[in-house]
Amino acid sequence: MTVAFFAKKSLAAGLSLASGHVRYVELERSGGELSVARSGEVELGPGIVDGEMIADVQALEGKLEELKSYIGGHWGAPVSLSLPSRDVLLRIVEMPSLAPDEAKEALKWDFEKYFPFPYAEAVFDLSPVDLPGEPDVTTSRFLVAAARLRVVEGLMEVTKRVGIKVNAVEPSGVPLYRSFKGAHTESDIITGTMVVSVGSLSSQIIVGFGDNGIIYRTLLFGGRPKDGLDSSSGFVAVAREVSSTFTYLASQFREMRVDEIILCGDYGKEELLKEELQKATDTAVVVKDPWEIWNIRGAPADRWGWETALGLAVRDLS
């Protein structure tokens, strides 16, 4: 199912799940303009989504009901939903030159070569991906996303009970990257981009080539101070992991150049974070606002940290 934007005014919505919060944004289009119809956020206490994995689906149901009440008692339809980043494994798989449907069928037989659970207990999808260097016409490369079936089924049961009509389910890193790259025209695409999203409890590092994310990392720390330390300790740790990601990138994708690091997330606007990243790398560090990239009016008052929810809502516009 896809969202169509042919009527005078249409709706699309994104619902992002992460450690510490669930965020919902609903967009409407009138003519050529996009604006926020409704948005809302509910904090998640400990033990609901822990370490970017769903830990208590029943408690999550209660929080979704709370969010539903906050936004007026009903959801927009349909809603694109994200799974927390560690509930999904992402792998680049190289196969003989095959169409996506053929590749998906073939991967069933080698599934456990790439993922630590059997095909019978999994739900997965794949998408063609471009990588740096000269393309090899004899092979195809796919970004494969796989999750445990019980996790997805449990979440789908909850969304059904709270009245959400689900349009699509994506790993959280995919819409996060889309929120910055999906609106670009071909002439705008630069060689490589690193997106660094720093939240309160976790952070994401995504390296992309053009419109495709090719490396997805989750860090189980963010900008919220802990153990008597201030935010700067978390920022230093993020910068260290960014440097490590560049080292890995150089060993695995030697022909790729990263032209910019985009800072975002709850702490994306923090100047100290930017300074730490600039110390750790020679790559340009910039702060970008996806609400401006997509020219969306009516962003939440605190517009930082909504990138994944926004990327879900614009899924069928990119």
Query: Tell me: the pLDDT tens digits for 42-54?
Result: 999 999 999 999 9
- Can you state the angle between helices 57-70 and 149-161, rounded to 10 degrees? 40
Q: Which of 149, 175, 199 is the last residue of a domain?
A: 149
Average pLDDT over residues 129-137: 80
Same domain, 200 and 125: no
Q: Which residues constitute the domain of residue 91?
A: 87-149
Q: Is residue 3 part of a domain?
A: no
pLDDT at residue 36 tops 50 = yes
Give the model's pLDDT for residue 7. 36
Residue 124 lies in a domain: yes
Q: What are phi and psi of 260, to 5 degrees?
A: -155, 150
Together in a domain, 145 and 192: no
The CATH number covering residue 121 comes to 3.30.1490.300
> Which residues of the chain form beta strands (DSSP E)?
9-18, 21-30, 33-43, 49-50, 53-54, 79-83, 89-96, 122-128, 139-148, 166-171, 193-198, 203-209, 212-219, 260-264, 284-287, 296-297
Q: How many domains in the chain?
A: 2
Same domain, 221 and 280: yes
Evaluate whether residue 41 is within a structural domain: no
Asked if 202 and 284 sit in the same domain, the reply is yes
pTM of the model: 0.91
Domain of 273, CATH number, reads 3.30.420.40
- Residue 193 tokens read as 């981009």
Q: Are residues 254 and 192 in the same domain?
A: yes
pLDDT above 70 (res 188): no
Same structural domain, 143 and 224: no
Confidence label for 1 from pLDDT (cuts 50, 70 and 90) = very low
Rounded Cα–Cα distance for residues 80 and 77 (Å): 9
Sheet holding 21-30, edge to edge: 166-171, 79-83, 9-18, 21-30, 33-43, 296-297
Q: Which two tokens stand for residue 314?
A: 């614009």
Going by C-alpha positions, the residue among 213, 263, 195, 207 that lies closest to residue 235 is 263
Sign of the dihedral defined by the CA atoms of residues 146, 129, 113, 252, in that order? negative
Q: Which residues contact 214 (CB under 8 A, 6 or more apart)?
A: 92, 129, 131, 143, 207, 208, 253
